[in-house]
Amino acid sequence: MRTNAKALVAAVVGLMLLLIIVPQAVAEDPELDDRMRLIEASEQLAAERDPDLLGLKAGLMATNFGAEEAQINPGARLVYYVPQVDVLRLQGEAIYIRDDLSASGFLGAAVEPLRGSILSPYAGAGIEVGGYANYQVFGGVEVWDNFFLEAKYVSEDDADQNNIYLAVGFQLEF
């Protein structure tokens, strides 16, 4: 029993010495002070970064627009946030129609009132520039700035066809 008590007292004394010596050694480390100043300067620089430089997103998507036998068509989109109006964005989309071996493109504008939040809804409209349709009205949600889910109504000449389509995609901000 005495051996266990001596070991316990030695462990407690050793732990107390460590708790007293280590913080003093760390506090007097000049390299640590330099590192802390560098970290603070880096954080300040990141906070001062011009937000207008980060107004462009490019992404890839999959949609059932124009799909008959192919089920899903690939596409790409480019989004530009207007710097003076934080909630307004301009966007262009290109969709490859695999069944027709052709492409369709849309140019439009959207409003994104909760930009920057985890779930950021948006709504907008655009015109079609490839001759496949007339216009589109769309609404969707961006998830964590990199993923988006979208539903769109596309005005087409074919009245027998369902004009509501879905799109899902991945995008990166530049």
pLDDT tens column, 86-109: 899 999 999 998 888 889 999 999
The pLDDT, as a whole number, for residue 88 is 94
Question: Please, what is the Cα angle at 158 between 154 and 159, to 5 degrees?
Answer: 85
Would you say 64 and 169 are in contact if contact means Cβ atoms under 8 Å apart? no
The pLDDT, as a whole number, for residue 59 is 96
| Integer Cα distance of 65 and 53 in angstroms | 32
Ranges of residues in the chain with a pLDDT under 70 are 1-3, 22-29, 46-54, 70, 158-161
- Contacts with 41 (C-beta within 8 Å, 6 or more apart), sequence order: none
CA dist 38 → 13, 31, 32, 34 (Å): 37, 11, 10, 6
Question: Coil, strand, or helix at residue 10?
Answer: helix
| Integer Cα distance of 160 and 72 in angstroms | 19
| Integer Cα distance of 79 and 173 in angstroms | 9
The pLDDT, as a whole number, for residue 54 is 63
The pLDDT, as a whole number, for residue 42 is 79
The alpha carbon of 67 is separated from its chain's Cα centroid by a whole number of angstroms, namely: 27
The pLDDT, as a whole number, for residue 168 is 96
The pLDDT, as a whole number, for residue 34 is 81
The pLDDT, as a whole number, for residue 20 is 76
**CATH architecture entry for 52-173:** Beta Barrel (2.40)
Three state DSSP letters for 72-116? CEEEEEEEEECCCCCCEEEEEEEEEECCCCEEEEEEEEEECCCCC
Phi and psi, residue 88, nearest 5°: -95, 135
The pLDDT, as a whole number, for residue 96 is 93
